[in-house]
Amino acid sequence: MKKQIREKLALGILLLLGLTACGGEEGSNGAIVNPPVTGPVPEMSIDACFTMITSLGEVGLGIDSRHTPQSAANFIGYVDDGFYDGTLIHRVIHNFIIQGGGFTSGMVPKPGKAPIKNEASVGFSNLRGTLAMARARQSDSATSQFFINTLDNPQLDYSASSEGYAVFGRVLSGMEVVDQIGIVATTRVGDYSDVPLEEIVIERIAPSECPMLEE
């Protein structure tokens, strides 16, 4: 059990391209000191919905344009451009996350647009089934890549010592597909680890009608 906890904490330190959070002000001991989230954490608002069609099935996604406007507009822009069509779910870490939106077949990087501001300080938690922006070490470095949490990962949240990873939506349907992807065999391809042994293709992400959600 202790080994599993240590492994999960270690994974939380390197989510995407070397996902070690940085930024904020440094305290006297060199640690990051971020301002606390002021006021209560808002309830996620599902303002726009999408269907992510993968080679293993469909996943319904809902995003929050009200509280995470930059992350939402960024994602919608990539969808409208057809950017995600033919990209891969290129990273799968069992009992942690699945990640996609930045590579095409053969693990060829697909350059994205300018990076956006990290909106993790809104306070949404990286709970199972939430959709979040992947980024590099710098806080405001997210471009096209996103991930879905397959377990609760509060170690990825904004805090006094971490800039966190911005949650901007959640899975509305097809979590069983996410779970199926989350247990596939992985390998190393060049410099990239945790790559699915058999390519999982995002065939398309398309706008869809939002379901009636319970209040």
Annotated domain spans of the chain: 2-35+42-208
Q: Give the model's pLDDT for residue 212.
A: 79
Decide if 66 contacts 47 (C-beta within 8 A).
yes
pTM: 0.87
Q: Give the model's pLDDT for residue 214.
A: 58
- Beta strands (DSSP E) in 3-155 are 25-26, 32-33, 48-54, 57-63, 87-93, 97-100, 103-104, 108-109, 130-133, 146-149
> What pLDDT, in 10s, does the model give residues 152-196?
999 999 999 999 999 999 999 999 999 999 999 999 999 999 999
* Residues making up the chain, counted from first to last: 215
Decide if 76 contacts 144 (C-beta within 8 A).
no
Q: Which of 198, 174, 182, 196 is nearest to 149 (CA)?
A: 182
Candidates 2.40.100.10, 3.20.20.70, 3.40.50.720, 3.40.47.10; CATH matching 2-35+42-208: 2.40.100.10
Decide if 148 contacts 130 (C-beta within 8 A).
yes
User: How does pLDDT run along the chain (215 residues), one tens digit per residue?
Assistant: 444 444 544 454 445 444 333 334 444 455 557 887 767 889 999 999 999 999 999 999 999 999 999 999 999 999 999 999 999 999 999 999 999 999 999 999 999 999 999 999 999 999 999 999 999 999 999 999 999 999 999 999 999 999 999 999 999 999 999 999 999 999 999 999 999 999 999 999 999 999 876 55
